[in-house]
Amino acid sequence: MRHLRFVLAAPVLLCMLPASPVRADEGMWLFNQFPKDLVEKRYGYRVSDQFLEMLRTATVRITHGTASFVSPDGLLFTNHHVGADCIQKLSSAQHDYFGNGFYAATPAAERTCPDTEVRVLQKIEDVTGAVQGAATTAMSGAEANRARKNAMTRIEKQCTASTGNTCDVVSFFSGGQYHLYQYKKYTDIRLVFAPEADIAAFGGDPDNYTYPRYCLDFSLFRVYENGKPIHPARYFRWSREGVQEGDLIFVPGNPGTTGRLLTVAELEFSRDYSYPLLLRQLKSSIQATEVYGSASSEAARVGRDSLFSQQNSYKRYVGFVDGLKDVQLMDRKLKEEKELRAAVERDPKLAAEYGRAWDDIAAAYRGYRSFYKPYMLLETRAARTSDLFGIARNVLRYVEETAKPENKRLREYAAANLPIIERSMYSTAPIEDSFEIAMLADYLRTIQQELGTENPVVSEALGGKTPEAAARDYVSTSKLKDVAERKRLAANADAVRTSNDGMIRLARILDKPARLYRQRYEDDVEAKLTAAAPKVARARFSVYGSAAYPDATFTLRLTFAAVRGYKNAAGQALPFTTTFDGVYKRATGKEPFKLPSRWVKGKSALRLNTPFNFVSTADTHGGNSGSPTLNTKGEIVGILFDGNLESLPNNFVFTDETARSIHVSGQGIVEALRKIYRANRIVKELGQ
């Protein structure tokens, strides 16, 4: 469940409605379509509108996941691994807050994050007619695709201008619906508390996606506006009772992209093409980061957060591939698709409208196979491998795109999105040259291996050098670590076009082919999918009805579940909760099972039977990291931070026999704050 710095390898359009009844506690529900009757029937608890409103307004989106307000003074509760981006950027060789932890004993000691952003959802509006109506039957598929995107851009721009909010148009039901999300955005976010990395991620990569677990994976921030803490309209209070097995819980959050009702052709493309490429790149990045970190303790500190993220992503995608290689899972998906297509074919009207949709999607993906690799490596993945290159690409595209009319720009450079681009581009986060060289060399080595040395783009990027030498040259001749230099270049298109800055030169080399592949994807693949995928969705509406949830889109959802243990593959019964006693039994004194010194010294002060982590049947996904876990009173009983290995195929098919979400216990958090960290200011603010 750790936040994904590496996201879904292939852009896909999701077919949203389930082809069979919702199973067990399945569902990442929209707040305005929450199944109150189903919850009451299953658990005997009636969810009120007031309860839903509290959960909706106190749960927020943070840069890499989910967070929630837990005090009237803007105290923000999320995972350590979600807050790690800020924690790492605030750290240095002298003050390693990521490794050693951080506690602001006074308000003045709270540290400002360089570029963390929090969004609080204000309003949702259906804009389906305006988006769909922008495309006409006289247009080609590519023209219709561009028309819809331009309509989305216009709506976002008008919304931002009239409200001052951050506005996003989100597609649901494969383009069957479009909703406008309005957010109040906060950018003054300050670190209040973080435990040591050794206890936040106890067990490291070996324990990741496993259970039993012993991770204190939480952190606390505060949201400020105009130099003062905000006072949120609603916040969650802390439960003193915690949870028991069988308890009903609620988990609001922002789950990332799921693919439960992708067509079989889409699943096969992910299994056979996009995921294997992503896994090869992740494996290479992990090896490069490990080699870099082995050079010194300072190098290990610099690369540590990236390594955690890479390892997490790699294990996650291995789980996805394993799920798609499971014969039973794929047989089930094939059976469901055949049943739906047969139902469509039995109705002449449905057959005429929707019958070819599946074949059209399959044809689009067959065409995509011929160029997906350079598209992924040069366009969608390039800026994620090196911070400096990401900045260089943004500077280059910023000056080019902002000079164009709004309807000719890349979507991410539309006027409504520019504040986000600028915040990232001008971030004051520290950049370490040696790590940039290591990561850029790995990227250049990857494109050399995947595209071939003779590829013109690869040849020009390397310039006759080895990947390592080329990376060293690009980084050492760049001034982009200086924010003032970024601003100077971003204000002058001619300066960017003629700049000898190393990273700008590399960005120019990759930009032309990257844009060409992006255009080809949008016109030849995306356009066909946006035409065909809504037909599959409408076919499901016609055959099965419309009372269901859309696939996840990193927008606010709500799931309900039970706290429940399970039996693992070996038949061993695993209890619903672990305790503090267990972490001491699992500790070996060596990484990644080494406890921080204050935990070793503080053992005698702890109530060792205090719950530490617990599991539930909650239907969650990446992006839900940091989601508050709430009882029927709307009180905090924990925080979601992971899932077990068995839950990974839930990306495609939900089950709850052995799949579990994993939470940090609220009782365990308070016990640690009080006894280990003596963070009395926080404990008092939480009302404990």
Q: Could you tell me the fold of the domain covering 31-117+187-260+551-685?
A: Thrombin, subunit H (2.40.10)
Phi and psi torsions of 251, nearest 5°: -130, 95
pLDDT band at 548 (very low <50, low <70, confident <90, very high): confident
Q: Compute CA 198 distance to the chain's CA centroid, rounded to the nearest angstrom.
A: 23
* Mean pLDDT, residues 522-531 taken together: 95
Which is nearest to 148 in space by CA: 123, 183, 177, 182?
Answer: 177
pLDDT of 313 strictly over 60: yes
Which helix H or strand E contains 90, and what residues bound it? Answer: helix 80-90
Across the chain, mean pLDDT equals 94
pLDDT band at 8 (very low <50, low <70, confident <90, very high): very low
Instruction: Check: CB of residue 652 under 8 Å from CB of residue 319.
Output: no
Predicted pLDDT of residue 114 = 96
3-state secondary structure of 68: strand
pLDDT of 1 strictly over 80: no
pLDDT of 435 strictly over 90: yes
Q: How far apart are CA 622 and CA 319, in angstroms?
A: 13
Report residue 464 as tokens: 């006759």
Predicted pLDDT of residue 6 = 30
Model pTM greater than 0.85? yes
Predicted pLDDT of residue 550 = 83
Predicted pLDDT of residue 379 = 97
Predicted pLDDT of residue 537 = 87
pLDDT of 18 strictly over 90: no
* Mean pLDDT, residues 389-400 taken together: 98
* Mean pLDDT, residues 224-236 taken together: 98
Predicted pLDDT of residue 173 = 76
Domain range list for the chain: 31-117+187-260+551-685, 123-185, 372-544
User: For residue range 463-518, what is the model confidence (pLDDT) as tens digits?
Assistant: 999 999 999 999 999 999 999 999 999 999 999 999 999 999 999 999 999 999 99
pLDDT of 82 strictly over 90: yes
pLDDT band at 153 (very low <50, low <70, confident <90, very high): very high
Predicted pLDDT of residue 23 = 56
pLDDT of 641 strictly over 60: yes
Predicted pLDDT of residue 9 = 33
DSSP character at residue 521 = H
User: For residue range 130-142, what is the model confidence (pLDDT) as tens digits?
Assistant: 999 999 999 999 9
Q: How far apart are CA 547 and CA 555, in angstroms?
A: 19
User: For residue range 549-608, what is the model confidence (pLDDT) as tens digits?
Assistant: 888 999 999 999 999 999 999 999 999 999 999 999 999 999 999 999 999 999 999 999
pLDDT of 248 strictly over 80: yes
Which single residue is written with the structure tokens 């009080």?
Answer: 674
